[in-house]
Structure 1
Amino acid sequence: MTQQLAPVDILPYQPEHQAAFRDLNVEWISRYFVVEELDRRMLDDPEGYILALGGYIFMARHQGRIVGTCALIKEPGGVYELAKMAVTPSAQGLGIGWRLGEAAIAKAREIGAHELELLSNRRLAPALSLYRKLGFVEAPLPASEYQRADIRMVLPL
């Protein structure tokens, strides 16, 4: 990636990050879509829904503020879902999504995952471009609980 990256710390999720994790995701989801029941379950209880089941959450701090997040959700068979990636609009374009994606991919490799997958929507062109730059490719889309999901991408590790 050739763009200049802003100084950002990628932090492991702590309980005090729950409000920022929820708010960052509600901010982008509600801008384009409707917050769905599955979103609410994850965002209201990330410790129970993501971390306790073997997942990970990353928070991005820039200039002393939490400005971004993403999660790895454990799926069966050595697969993790890259999910709940959000960067607040005032910090977009600074390479923070790239840094979050790199951190998630590095963690997935470290824990022995053999594939990352993600579900998204074709309307989110900047996000899809980021995922492609990170190495994700489009794959068949199975049935999903998310109404907004119309594309699945995978990254073999």
Structure 2
Amino acid sequence: MAPSPVEVVPYRPEYRAHFERLNRQWIEKDFRIEGSDAASFADPHGVFVAPGGEVFFALVDGQVLGTCALKREDAETFELCKMAVAPEARGRDLGDALMRAALATARERGAKRMVLVTNSALGPALGLYRKHGFVTTREGPEIARETGYSRADVEMAVTL
């Protein structure tokens, strides 16, 4: 039997708790929740959607199994934020589906570039980003100081 298809949908208020749940799972596994994490969990619409970005949810059979956010940086740049897939759903292309939605939306909204920050220990995430054209632009502890995320030590970008 073929696996159920992945449906990617934009922000819906009823999915807000899933945004927090999915992101807490990966952050708390190896890192700690920081102030800007908590702020985005409390109001993903206000942090991402209202200023011109988006929050996406990946659903399989109506179950929310993945999420990511786009934050508008400027007229030509979006930041990819808070990419998370439930542990039980990894390997089922949800990350790819979310990434395709994020890249398509950024292009539709006139962006020329997408950036992200991540951690060098997150091998599967780095692989996903590279698969979709992201290249490392900087590495090092200064990224954590500049972004306010103590876990950030890699910056990546893709031209759209």
- TM-score of the pair, normalised by structure 2: 0.92
In the alignment, what sits opposite 1:72?
70
Conserved? CA contact 1:8–1:61, under 8 Å: yes
| 1:51 shift after superposition | 1.0
The answer to whether the Cα contact below 8 Å between 1:122 and 1:151 also exists between their aligned partners in 2 is: yes
- Deviation >4 Å, runs of 4+: none
Q: Which residue of 1 aligns with 2:25?
A: 27
1:77 Cα offset (Å): 4.2
2:129 counterpart letter in structure 1: Y
Deviation at 1:140, TM superposition (A): 2.3
RMSD between aligned residues: 1.4
> Aligned pair 1:104/2:102, yes or no?
yes
2:42 aligned with 1:44: yes
Identify the range of structure 1 (140-149 vs 24-33) with the bigger mean alpha-carbon deviation. 140-149
1:14 aligns with: 12
Q: Which runs of 5 or more residues in structure 2 are unaligned? A: none
The one-letter code of the counterpart of 1:10 is V
Q: Deviations over 1:80-116 (max 9, x none)?
A: 0001100000000001001100110000011110100
User: Given that residues 137 and 154 in structure 1 are in contact (C-alpha distance below 8 angstroms), is that contact kept between their aligned partners in structure 2?
Assistant: yes
The aligned counterpart of 2:90 is 92
**Contact 1:119/1:153, CA 8 A, preserved across alignment:** yes
Instruction: Report if aligned partners of 1:68, 1:96 keep a CA contact under 8 Å in 2.
Output: yes
TM-score, normalised via structure 1 length: 0.94
Q: Which residue of 1 aligns with 2:55?
A: 57
Counterpart-to-counterpart distance in 2, 1:5 and 1:86: 20
Match of 1:153 among 147, 152, 156: 156
Would you say the 8 A contact 2:76–2:113 is kept in 1? yes
Say yes or no: does 1:131 pair with 2:107.
no
Task: Give the total of aligned pairs.
Answer: 154
**Equivalent residue of 1:118, what SS?**
strand
What is the DSSP-based 3-state SS (H/G/I as helix, E as strand, rest coil) of the residue aligned with 2:47? helix
Give, in whole Å, the separation in 2 of the partners of 1:53 and 1:5: 36
Aligned-partner Cα distance in 2 for 1:123–1:113: 29
Q: Percent identity?
A: 44
Structure 1: which amino acid aligns with 2:24? V
Task: Give distance in 2, aligned partners of 1:125 and 1:6.
Answer: 26
